[in-house]
C-alpha cells in the first residue's frame, strides 16, 4: 500500500510539473503583481511574452508566494494592471495589429489605419460619409428650423418648415427678408399741390437692392372737376410714364372727375441692383380752380 501511495505521489508531481500555462493575457501582469504586493521577494522585473511558460508546480512551491486578502488583491495588483494597460497584439506594428492602447482608451497602430482606410481613402468613403466640402445628401436629411426672427444674410440652414410656414401673429418681416414691407402714406391734410397737365410725385419710398412689387393709389382733391386724372409707380421722379408701364399705369380721361376720385396705380415690379427711390406719381388736367393729390404707396420684397 505504501508503495502504491508513493507511486501516486510521484505521478501527481510529474503531472503538476509538466502541466504548464501559456500566457495569452497581457504582458506586464507579473510585474504589476510584484509592485502591488501579490508576490514577495520578487526577482528582477520581467515581461512575459505570449510563448512564456510558467510551471504550476514550481509556482505553487515558490517560497516567495504568500496568500493575501481579496480586498488587497483588488486594490493593488489588479488596479495597477488596469491603470497602465499594455500593448495589444505585437509590440512591433504589423498589418492588422492594434499596437497601442493607452490608459485613456486611445487606439493606434497600423491595424487601426488598415481598418479605417477603406472608408477614408477609397470610393467607399464617398458612398458612406458626406465630405465637409460640398456634401451631397441622400434620403430625407433634417436640420433645426431657424427662428422666424432670424436675421437675413446669415449662413444658417433654412428648412421647409421655415420657408413654408407663415407668421402666426401680426408682426412684420425683418429688413432684408422675403416679405419685408415698405410703405408711405400721405393724408389729405398734406396733399401735394398740382399744376394742370403736369406730372408730380405724390409720395415715395427708398428700397434696398432686391426684387419688389409696388402698388398704390392717388386720391384727388379738386376745387372744380377735372377731365383727366392719372396714377403710376415708377423709379423716375415726376415723370409721366409711357403706357403700359409694365401694368403700373392708370389713366382716366374723357369724363368729369370730382374731388375724392381715386385712381389705382397698378402693380410695378422693381428689380433693383442698388438702393433706389420709387415714386407714386399723379397727374390732373383741369381748366380752373385748384387741385391736389394724396395717397398710399406700398412695396413688398418678393425675393
Q: What is the pLDDT of residue 33?
A: 46
Q: What is the pLDDT of residue 37?
A: 46
Chain CA centroid to CA 165, Å: 20
Q: What is the mean pLDDT of residues 19-28?
A: 38
Q: Which cell numbers hold the place of 102?
A: 493607452
- Residue 251's alpha-carbon distances to 70, 178, 281, in angstroms, are 104, 32, 12
Confidence of residue 139 (pLDDT cuts 50, 70, 90): confident
Q: What is the pLDDT of residue 52?
A: 41
Q: Are strands 249-257 and 226-234 parallel, antiparallel or unpaired?
A: antiparallel
Q: Which of 23-32, 90-99, 161-170 is least confident? A: 23-32
More confident residue, 302 or 152: 302
Give residue-wise pLDDT tens across range 153-175.
678 887 877 776 677 888 898 89
pLDDT at 44 over 90: no
Domains of the chain are 2-83 (no CATH), 181-301 (2.60.120)
Sign of the alpha-carbon torsion through 182, 187, 189, 193 = positive
Bin 254: left if φ > 0, else alpha if -120 < ψ < 50, else beta: left
More confident residue, 292 or 128: 292
The DSSP bridge partners found for residue 54 are 21
Average pLDDT, the chain: 74
Chain CA centroid to CA 285, Å: 60
Q: What is the pLDDT of residue 30?
A: 45
> 245, 223, 221: which is closest to 232 by C-alpha?
245
As a whole number of Å, the end-to-end CA separation of the chain is: 109
Q: Are strands 291-301 and 192-193 parallel, antiparallel or unpaired?
A: antiparallel
More confident residue, 50 or 128: 128
Give the C-alpha separation, 217 to 252, whole Å.
13
Count Cα atoms within 13 angstroms, Cβ side, for 41.
5
Q: What is the pLDDT of residue 134?
A: 81
Q: Which residue has the cell 479605417?
A: 116
Count Cα atoms within 13 angstroms, Cβ side, for 25.
8
Q: What is the pLDDT of residue 26?
A: 37
Residue 252: DSSP 8-state: E
pLDDT at 55 over 60: no
Confidence of residue 135 (pLDDT cuts 50, 70, 90): confident
Give the C-alpha separation, 297 to 217, whole Å.
7
pLDDT at 302 over 90: yes
Q: Which helix (H) or strand (E) holds 34?
A: helix 29-36
Q: What is the pLDDT of residue 119?
A: 57
Q: Which of 86-95, 158-167, 182-191, 230-239 is least confident? A: 86-95
Q: What is the mean pLDDT of residues 1-19?
A: 57
More confident residue, 164 or 79: 164
Burial-class residue 145 by CB neighbours within 10 Å (0-12, 13-18, 19+).
Answer: middle
Q: What would the DSSP string read from start to end of 88-124?
A: SS-SS--TT---EE-TT--EESHHHHHHHHHHHSSHH
Q: Which residue has the cell 442698388?
A: 274
Confidence of residue 141 (pLDDT cuts 50, 70, 90): confident
Give residue-wise pLDDT tens across range 219-262.
999 999 999 999 999 999 999 999 999 999 999 999 999 999 99
Amino acid at each position: 500500500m505504501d508503495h502504491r501511495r508513493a507511486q501516486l505521489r510521484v505521478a501527481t508531481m510529474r503531472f503538476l510539473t509538466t502541466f504548464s500555462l501559456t500566457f495569452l493575457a497581457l504582458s506586464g501582469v507579473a510585474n504589476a503583481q510584484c509592485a502591488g504586493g501579490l508576490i514577495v521577494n520578487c526577482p528582477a522585473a520581467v515581461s512575459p511574452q505570449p510563448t512564456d511558460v510558467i510551471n504550476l508546480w514550481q509556482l505553487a512551491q515558490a517560497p516567495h508566494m504568500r496568500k493575501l486578502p481579496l480586498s488587497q488583491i483588488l486594490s493593488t495588483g489588479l488596479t495597477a494592471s488596469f491603470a497602465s494597460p499594455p500593448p495589444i497584439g505585437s509590440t512591433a506594428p504589423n498589418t492588422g495589429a492594434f499596437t497601442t492602447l493607452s490608459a485613456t482608451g486611445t487606439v493606434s497602430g497600423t491595424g487601426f489605419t488598415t481598418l479605417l482606410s477603406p472608408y477614408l481613402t477609397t470610393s467607399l468613403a464617398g458612398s458612406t460619409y458626406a465630405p465637409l466640402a460640398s456634401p451631397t445628401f441622400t434620403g430625407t436629411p433634417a436640420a433645426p428650423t431657424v427662428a422666424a426672427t432670424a436675421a437675413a444674410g446669415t449662413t444658417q440652414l433654412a428648412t421647409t418648415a421655415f420657408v413654408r410656414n407663415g407668421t402666426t401673429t401680426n408682426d412684420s418681416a425683418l429688413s432684408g427678408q422675403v416679405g419685408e414691407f415698405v410703405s408711405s402714406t400721405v393724408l389729405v391734410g398734406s396733399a401735394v399741390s398740382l399744376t394742370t397737365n403736369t406730372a408730380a410725385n405724390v409720395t415715395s419710398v427708398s428700397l434696398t437692392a432686391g426684387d419688389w412689387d409696388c402698388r398704390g393709389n392717388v386720391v384727388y382733391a379738386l376745387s372744380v372737376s377735372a377731365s383727366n386724372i392719372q396714377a403710376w409707380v415708377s423709379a423716375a421722379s415726376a415723370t409721366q410714364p409711357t403706357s403700359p408701364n409694365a401694368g403700373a399705369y392708370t389713366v382716366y380721361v374723357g369724363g368729369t372727375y370730382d374731388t375724392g376720385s381715386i385712381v389705382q396705380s397698378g402693380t410695378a415690379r422693381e428689380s433693383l441692383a442698388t438702393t433706389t427711390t420709387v415714386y407714386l406719381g399723379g397727374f390732373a388736367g383741369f381748366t380752373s380752380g385748384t387741385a391736389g393729390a394724396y395717397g398710399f404707396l406700398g412695396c413688398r420684397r418678393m425675393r
